[in-house]
C-alpha cells in the first residue's frame, strides 16, 4: 500500500497533506514536493520568476496543471503559454522545454506510470537531449 504523509487509513486509501511533504530544492532554487503511489507520481513545484529548464523528455506521460503564474512550454517547435487554471498533457518521450515568465509560478505535475523506486520518485526520471 502507498503511504502519503503521516496517516495511513484502514482499507485501500491513504491520507496526506502537502504541508507534510518535505520540500526539496534542485536546480535554479526550484522547490519540489513529491507524493508517489504504486501507480502515479505527483510533483508540486514552486518556480522562481525567470526559471528556464533545458530541452528534455520523460519516459512517463506528464500532465501539468498550473496553479499560479504561467509556465511557457516549447514542444516540437511550438511555444505554448499555460496559465493558472489550465493544464497540458505531454506524451511519454516527447521533448519539451519549460520556462517561467517574470512572475513566480506553481504547478502540479502528474507522471504516469510512477517512478520505479523511492529515489526516482523524488525526482521523476528525466533525460536531457
pLDDT tens for each residue of 63-93:
999 999 999 999 999 999 999 999 999 999 9
Which residues 6+ apart lie within 8 Å of 27 measured at CB?
A: 53
What DSSP string runs through 38-61?
Answer: SS-EEEEEEEPTT-EEEEEE-SSE
Q: Is residue 15 part of a domain?
A: no
Q: Is residue 19 part of a domain?
A: no
- Predicted confidence at residue 1, as pLDDT, reads 47
Q: Is residue 7 part of a domain?
A: no
Cell of 78: 511550438
Question: Which CATH number do you get for residue 106?
Answer: 2.60.120.10
- Please state, in angstroms and rounded to a whole number, the distance separating the CA atoms of residues 12 and 15: 10
- Predicted confidence at residue 114, as pLDDT, reads 80
Q: What percent of the chain has pLDDT over 90?
A: 50
What DSSP string runs through 84-106?
Answer: TT-EEEE-TT--EEEEE-SS-EE
pLDDT bin (cut points 50, 70, 90) of residue 94 is very high
Full domain range(s) for residue 39: 26-128
Cell of 60: 512517463
pTM of the model: 0.79
Amino acid at each position: 500500500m502507498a503511504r502519503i504523509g503521516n496517516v495511513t487509513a484502514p482499507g485501500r486509501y491513504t491520507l496526506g497533506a502537502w504541508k507534510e511533504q518535505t520540500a526539496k530544492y534542485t536546480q535554479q532554487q526550484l522547490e519540489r514536493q513529491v507524493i508517489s503511489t504504486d501507480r502515479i507520481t505527483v510533483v508540486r513545484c514552486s518556480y522562481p520568476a525567470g526559471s528556464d529548464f533545458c530541452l528534455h523528455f520523460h519516459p512517463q506521460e506528464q500532465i501539468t496543471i498550473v496553479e499560479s503564474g504561467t509556465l511557457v512550454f516549447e514542444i516540437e517547435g511550438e511555444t505554448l503559454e499555460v496559465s493558472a487554471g489550465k493544464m497540458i498533457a505531454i506524451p511519454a518521450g516527447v521533448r519539451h522545454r519549460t520556462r517561467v515568465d517574470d512572475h513566480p509560478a506553481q504547478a502540479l505535475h502528474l507522471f504516469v506510470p510512477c517512478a520505479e523506486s523511492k529515489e526516482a520518485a523524488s525526482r521523476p526520471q528525466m533525460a536531457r537531449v
